[in-house]
A and B are shown apart, each in its own frame.
Chain A
Amino acid sequence: MYDIKPLEEKWKKYQLKKRKPIYWGISLFALFILFAIMNFSNVNHYIDKIHNKSIIHIKDNKNSLLKNNALIRLEIEDSKSINDEINIDTSSEVLVDIPILNIGDNINSKVNSDTINNKIHLDIIETSSAKAYEDVEKRFIQSQDIDDALFLAKSYYKKHNYTKAEYWAYEVNKLDANLEESLFIFVQSKVKLGYLPESIAILKNYIRKSNSEEAKKLLNKIENNK
């Protein structure tokens, strides 16, 4: 009788060989399941991101709503210039509503199409990211978009950065001298910075020209606070 041990060893090896395709099958299936789970969680994460965290309103003439990824390439009315394409850092994830100054209920900036060729239909509602402000400032240098400047003026005023608020309100005024909202931010910033007489003089001068009721109310308010 022969030695059975080598044959048993051989059989064990054969079993391993026989089961190899099964092991491979199980491994591939497990990998597939893992991949599917990971993919599913990524999709969920992406959906959450879109729905809950990073909504940005992109305003155009039709008041359309675009989502965060649309910011990669913002829609521009006139595509003549290379400046039409503006990159925005999409890593700024936290963008929420901006409660702006009490002056005027309409938070949407009006754009003077006569003065600005490359208009970005952007109404950034709120951001806590400092980088977002820098981006808007950089963008303004290229676009000279009144909406951007007004947004910065309002935002800085709200953040009690009156020097910057005064600067950006002045930039708006340079582009549209008739825009009351920027004038009011400019005047109020000056008040906050301690230039009260100068502020009152500017406001009175404007009331004379425009007879604006809103300007009168503001003047009254400033004087009363005095």
Chain B
Amino acid sequence: MKSRYETAKNVFIDSIDIDDYIELNSSVTAYQQLQHSMGKPLKMILLFGRPGTGKSILLNRIYEKLKYQKEIHYFDTPAPTEKEFFQKLFKVLTQQDLPKNTEVNFSALIDFCKNLRDKREIVILLDEAQMYSAEIMEKIRLLSDTRAVKFVVSLHKTEDEDLIAKEHFKSRIWEIIELKNAKKEDQEAYIHKKLLKKNLFEIANSIKSKEMKLIYKFTKGNYRECNKLMFTIFEICEFYDKNEPNKINYSHIPQKIVEMSALKLGYINV
């Protein structure tokens, strides 16, 4: 028999699926800000934030929303080599496949883009841009200078690299949108909405305010960490539900299970 917690657990599998997108006050603001920036005559837009702050899902959402209105392309994973990246870009710009055993002539590509100015307005969403080499980034910058292609670059960096990243793009981009971890209220709404979206009202209601605070304490409002913790919480609940149902209170997920999950994920230690 399927446990009620199995569905709840699967709700928190980390994904950038647009169906999993939860509209929160903070995410609505970021979305509107990005959409507004894309409307401006900017060459590059930097979407910046720590891992798990919702950059990818935001890019995905904007792609899904605007794909029928604009010529927009989403590069979700970086190409492993420069050659492959430009093959992919060539296809997007020329709408043709690159013939076999040929390479993109970058100068010719620049000229091609210059010819596109005022004819087409192409937006390319580059996720995980921190994985591109400096050479590729420089070429992306040159392409954006043609004003025919607009790049939205999503970056996540460690604390030490934040400034380096900002410095590198400072002269080349006109707008930075920074995504931050959720506030406590936002995270609480995020968890509830996720569960309610799958009609798991009782389970959503079984997470009380005290446990919500604890979840926030452990995850610090990071959506990815929150997903991980919630997944583990429901995984443990599922275990008890199947094997030792006397140990679980269906109306209230206890602090013990939250702490056990945090121990399992290493947020706290013995």
| Mask of B131-142 contacts with A, CB within 8 angstroms, 1/0 | 000000000000
CB distance from A141 to the nearest CB of B (A): 75
**Residues in A whose Cβ lies below 8 Å from that of B242:** 1
Beta-carbon nearest neighbor of A14 in chain B: B270
CB distance from A134 to the nearest CB of B (A): 69
Residues of B239-259 at the interface with A, using a CB-CB cut-off of 8 Å, are 239-240, 242-244, 256, 259
Which of A4-12, A83-91, A201-209 makes up part of the contact surface?
Answer: A4-12
Is there contact, CB below 8 Å, between A11 and B239? no
| Mask of A55-71 contacts with B, CB within 8 angstroms, 1/0 | 00000000000000000
Is there a chain A Cβ closer than 8 Å to B13's Cβ?
no
Is there a chain A Cβ closer than 8 Å to B263's Cβ?
yes
Is there a chain A Cβ closer than 8 Å to B203's Cβ?
no
Is there contact, CB below 8 Å, between A7 and B263? yes
Tell me what chain A mostly uses at the interface: helix, strand, loop, or mixed: helix
CB distance from B38 to the nearest CB of A (A): 45
Is there a chain B Cβ closer than 8 Å to A19's Cβ?
no
A-B contact count (CB 8 A): 30
Is there a chain B Cβ closer than 8 Å to A158's Cβ?
no
**Residues in B whose Cβ lies below 8 Å from that of A13:** 270
Residues of A1-56 at the interface with B, using a CB-CB cut-off of 8 Å, are 1-2, 4, 7-8, 10-11, 13-14, 17
CA distance A13 to B259 in the complex (A): 12
CB distance from A5 to the nearest CB of B (A): 11
Counting chain A residues whose Cβ lies within 8 A of the other chain, the interface size class is 10 to 19
**Residues in B whose Cβ lies below 8 Å from that of A7:** 236, 260, 263-264
CA distance A152 to B259 in the complex (A): 82
Beta-carbon nearest neighbor of A9 in chain B: B270
| Mask of A177-199 contacts with B, CB within 8 angstroms, 1/0 | 00000000000000000000000
CA distance A95 to B96 in the complex (A): 119
Is there contact, CB below 8 Å, between B239 and A1? yes
CB distance from A94 to the nearest CB of B (A): 62
Is there contact, CB below 8 Å, between A14 and B263? yes
Is there contact, CB below 8 Å, between B256 and A11? yes
CA distance A4 to B236 in the complex (A): 8
CB distance from A100 to the nearest CB of B (A): 79
CA distance A10 to B259 in the complex (A): 10
CA distance A13 to B243 in the complex (A): 23
Beta-carbon nearest neighbor of B270 in chain A: A13
CA distance A207 to B242 in the complex (A): 120
Is there contact, CB below 8 Å, between B236 and A10? no
CB distance from A181 to the nearest CB of B (A): 86
Is there a chain A Cβ closer than 8 Å to B163's Cβ?
no
**Residues in A whose Cβ lies below 8 Å from that of B236:** 4, 7
**Residues in B whose Cβ lies below 8 Å from that of A4:** 236, 239-240, 243-244
Is there a chain A Cβ closer than 8 Å to B79's Cβ?
no
Closest 10 CB pairs of A and B: A13-B270, A11-B260, A14-B270, A10-B263, A7-B260, A1-B239, A4-B239, A10-B270, A11-B259, A14-B263
A-B contact pairs, 18 of them (CB 8 A): A1-B235, A1-B239, A1-B242, A1-B243, A2-B239, A4-B239, A4-B240, A4-B243, A7-B236, A7-B263, A10-B260, A11-B256, A11-B259, A11-B260, A13-B270, A14-B263, A14-B269, A14-B270
